[in-house]
Amino acid sequence: MRVLDTRTTEPEELARFLDKPLLQDNPEVEAAVRRIISEVRSRGDEAVLEFVRRFDWPQADSLIVPNSEIEEAYSKVPEKLIQAIKLAKAHIEAFHKKQQRSSWMDKDDRGVTLGQMILPVNKAAVVAPAFQAPLPSSLLMGAVTARVAGVREVYVCTPPRKDGSIHPAMAVAAAEAGVDKVYRIGGAHGVAAFAFGTETVPRVDKIVGPGGIYVTMAKRLVYGEVGIDMLAGATEILILADESANPIYVAADLLSQAEHVNARALLVTTSRELAESVSKEVDRQLSTLSTRDLASKSIEANGAIILIQDLDEGLEIANRVAPEHLELAVAQPMEILASVRNAGAILVGESSPEPIGDYVAGPNHILPTSGTARFSSPLNVDDFLKKTNVIIYSEQGLREDGPSAIELAEAEGLDAHANAVRVRLE
């Protein structure tokens, strides 16, 4: 891995590894996605089937995965994997139940009652990718969280294989999460179908879940017609480490993310010795991975070891990057935890490797990327909730507060606003 020292590296070179845009300008992709959305919106199922045939299943003749295929999937998935899916589901459910919220009302001594009704959206769709491999964990993260939030109808869209079936592990995850229907649709056409509805696909209120550039672009373009969780870029990890860190663990965790397309893997460390050991260990472990070609490309393009003077400088870099995953591989991680301001997920100590958070810990792994953790959060129960304000004024309250409302309305030149209060006071 390349090594950059903050004391000697040119700022422009350092910035290349620290400041990564969420979406590169790509007029060709945007134009293609706009065409897909337009076709789906105007021609419904007919257009969706055409795109499924073009991209995934050449003989596509239906969009809904039948219940029989989902039931049969249990016989095709190893028992250990079924149990792992059940464990992950249980932990995701338990964690997200702690995020549940209730409606509230407060009445003051004038008889004025103010409050909020907190209600789930009616329908949500979870985008479950399968472009490199099936991702049942992402399906669980989206669907289980929606169920905990109280969403009435939860759907999944995932691309089919060449024979039209979906991967059995995806079917099992969908069943365990309790989704209402699974649709064998992927890509931008899947997002468009759920954003506008077709003869077969319901229009939903919220679309969540990760995806490649076409899915992300589609989510951006349909936002406003439908709610979305976030715009996600390529996955990333930043490990902040001192001389106490285990280079074998650090290298393994960097590679755990590097095996995704265009992933970014950064080690920020105070120790030159650790930097040298990790660089050698990355090369050694790469040779053992079945995904070494992809991981090597990510390391070469987006990987770096950044040498820093002290942990304070490391924290500045971590907060600047606002990484999707931040690991604290230092001797006293709890002493610096409170100084982390921007990260999607923080994994503390050597017994907390990033994949534990991805799969079984329980917190959501659908996380903000590309610096967006500066202002956004992991997928959570609130993503499926909407708040409606409730205002119940008493006559006394209106007499006391009404004149101020009139003053503000008149200051804004809105005479009818003022009059609606004035006629009650007169």
Within 10 Å of residue 402's Cβ, how many Cβ atoms? 18
Q: Work out whether the CA dihedral 187, 166, 229, 44 comes out positive or negative.
A: positive
Within 10 Å of residue 246's Cβ, how many Cβ atoms? 16
Place of tokens 């045939």: 53
Within 10 Å of residue 219's Cβ, how many Cβ atoms? 27
The partner residues of 60 in beta bridges, in order of sequence, read none
Structure tokens at 208: 């969540």
Q: How far apart are CA 60 and CA 77, in angstroms?
A: 24
The rounded radius of gyration (Å) of the Cα atoms in the chain is: 25
> Is residue 360 helix, strand or coil?
coil
Query: Quick check: 291 and 266 in contact, CB under 8 A?
Result: no
> Is residue 329 helix, strand or coil?
strand
The partner residues of 153 in beta bridges, in order of sequence, read 123
Nearest in space to 339 (alpha carbons), one of 235, 240, 236:
240
Instruction: Please provide residue 345's backbone torsions phi and psi, each rounded to the nearest 5 degrees.
Output: -145, 140
Nearest in space to 70 (alpha carbons), one of 212, 199, 174, 150:
174
The partner residues of 346 in beta bridges, in order of sequence, read 326
Nearest in space to 315 (alpha carbons), one of 303, 302, 332, 328:
328
DSSP string of 231-250?
---S-EEEEEE-TTS-HHHH
Catalytic residue among 324, 327, 350, 354: 324
Judged by phi (left if over 0) then psi (alpha if -120 to 50, else beta), residue 336 lies in alpha
Q: How far apart are CA 46 and CA 28, in angstroms?
A: 24
Say if strands 153-157 and 181-183 run parallel, antiparallel, or are unpaired. Answer: parallel
- Does the annotation mark 260 as catalytic? no
Nearest in space to 355 (alpha carbons), one of 249, 245, 242, 229:
249
Catalytic residue among 259, 325, 350, 354: 325
- Does the annotation mark 325 as catalytic? yes
Give me the active site residues, please.
324-325
